[in-house]
Structure 1
Amino acid sequence: MSERVMPGRTDGLITLGAADALWVGLTAGSAVPTASGAFTCSPARARAGYVLLGGHVVATVRSGGGQWGVSQVEVRRAAAELNAVGADRQDLVRIGPFRGAPKQRSSEETPLRWRRRIAEELQEPSGPGRAARREVGRPHHLAGIDWRRILVERTRDGTQRTWWLPRTVVRLLDAAEHAETQWVQAARDHRAGTAGTEPPSRPRQVRDTDGRRMTSPGGPTASLRPYGKELEGQLYSVLSRKPGTSRRVAGWACAVCRTAPATVLDHCHEHGYVRAPVCQSCNTQERPDHLYSNDIRVANRYTRLFHTHADAWLHHWHRCPGCRARTTLPLPHLAAWTAHTACRPLRPTHRAPGGRKPCGVLRVSWTGSQNAPRSCLFTVAVDFCPSGEHRVLARVPYREAAERFRTWLAETAPAVAATAGPDRLDGLPAQSRPVVVDTSGEGLALF
């Protein structure tokens, strides 16, 4: 592969066009597809002094002749790290659209904001004009990643579209967005004379004692610190109004996966207490898939939430003092657990190539409210049954579901269960302060 070295430079700088070709060539076999134009097409910001490659910031340099270049060593390093990333295309994260999401216009001056950019492009009307607009610089890559090749679009009820990306790619783009924010802030501090060093060009990854990847000193996420219960027992409605909360959250690593910067403050929508700062990927993973205000489709991700990674997620949910003291889960989560775990033996199977497979798609709805447990009833059903049978599998009262959960919790996560119960927390209000109205009301918006 030929690389056009910048004339008069002996420090390994290559032109932006050569860097584009080098990036694509080095990542041709990556599980995460990449795109050309990572250095020269929007939303690349080479003339701002940096570009994003995967989850990393790579510095660009302007020569005496006014030409911009980049270190080929840094490009090769970023490509090698991306090639080492695996992508499970079955482990998907919904990236939009979500109800009530504000519509904002992007420009060359705004940071990556990759979710907004994808939403803007996908919501454009199709037609010949759209292709023409792309040719004059419409975003077609994000951080060098060709997201269109791995985007999954699903249609619900024949009209509503939803968009999904592999979890690995979501975390890469979240890391890129966070790294860009840190870079811009460091550059401002440097220009203002408040920092003694140039903005870092890339983070270096190391592994902690649990084998999880963490960021070492010297990178844009070097200031991240593990969450240590600093916000435990605080109400989200109060904390979210305090100035500086967003910046404080961004200083933590995600309290669940511990491999990505925190971007949101996860909280219990039922009791109102803060759980912990988490990344967008983990926050989306635990989001119930609402069909209606009181109706959930039980997706495949619940296998991870209640089986393979149950201990970590149960610990996270019980960071809410209300859930911990009552040894329960918020209503949508308890409903999903009841359908996915407690009613699993009731789910029929059908013949299929390679053996029998579970029938259709599980769904759970409820009537009444968790604030009036006697009136609350879960109904577990199967949608999309090949034979049109098995409509309703079970009807489980809320109190029975909560009691089953307590028993299951003690068997599945004894360490979590040992810290739960009404005698484990003094001073908890006798009456919870829900953030949302009862499920029997109108205008419910849990998430």
Structure 2
Amino acid sequence: MPGLRQHGHVFFGDIAVRCYKHRGRWTYDERDIRAAGRTLADMELRLDDVVEVQLPVYRDLPERDPEAGWRPDWRRRLVSWMYGQARRRLLARGRSYAEWGSWQALGENGLPGELTWEEFVVSSSRYRYTQNIAGTRPLPLLAWSGEKWLLPRAYAGLLDRWEQREDELVARARLCSSCGEQGPYWGGWRTSTMSGYVTRCPPCSGAAFRPYTGHLRGVQYDTLRRRGARADDYLCRLCRSSQASVWDHCHDHGHVRGPLCGGCNTREGKTPASCFLELEGGALHLLQCRGCLEERTLGSVHVAEQRLSTSSGGSRRSGCSRLRAAAR
């Protein structure tokens, strides 16, 4: 639910339901859910009252608007789904890019790359991010007339209202809670805490939280938890611009590496290891574990990444060379 990071709400159609975080777990008020359900149930959806859906050109983003690709746009999302499935179809059939030809050309069914409607629906059902928009499923209501795409008028209006409401919530959440400065569109200043996300600009974060000095190096993570030491009293050790939310630690030796914000911690644990190693200071952060430093190892995840570097180049090799240099 990316909306939680962006603005703390989830959408049921054009209805934004606020979520709450208590002791690290997200929840909601059931009364809000029931109210949203009643509103959607009362919406009159007539299949004989349709409007044309004017889909934009594939990857045709407005010039001079770096945030255009992040803004909610259900028409652009439908286009992205269509061309994404067409591209995956060609790759699955083992055809090289040189053999694709004019795969972006639209067929008589309105879909690109010889993609059939049945293939489009089946493929979309396999990926969570291509199943719904605003908590609703558009494909069962989308129809091709032979010349244009059509949707029920009421449903198209609902999606338009969702766009506007989501944009309003993001605009409000972008403002620094301390000084009111506007941050980047995709939640760059949003920090995860035990009670939800907070928006703070780097100067305000620096003034509100202490820099981590490495004084807990060598301490076991379980010991730190029993002490009740709070990571959110510190700045993120890696990006140094956001409030930390967790104590990052080595899963092989159990030693604390330091406090990280949600974004840096996610990049360390849930993305390919090479993505983290390319961060400035990423290699040195891993070596805050005394066990890894003494054994001249990187932990099981990053050792596997180092082995991959023997058979691939680019960022993997660069990241692993940084680790070897840091270990020296």
TM-score bracket, normalised by the shorter chain, equals 0.3 to 0.5
Greater length-normalized contact order (CA 8 Å, ≥ 6 residues apart): 2
TM-score w.r.t. the length of structure 2 is 0.43
TM-score w.r.t. the length of structure 1 is 0.33
Which structure shows the bigger proportion of residues in helix conformation?
2
Which structure shows the bigger proportion of residues in strand conformation?
1
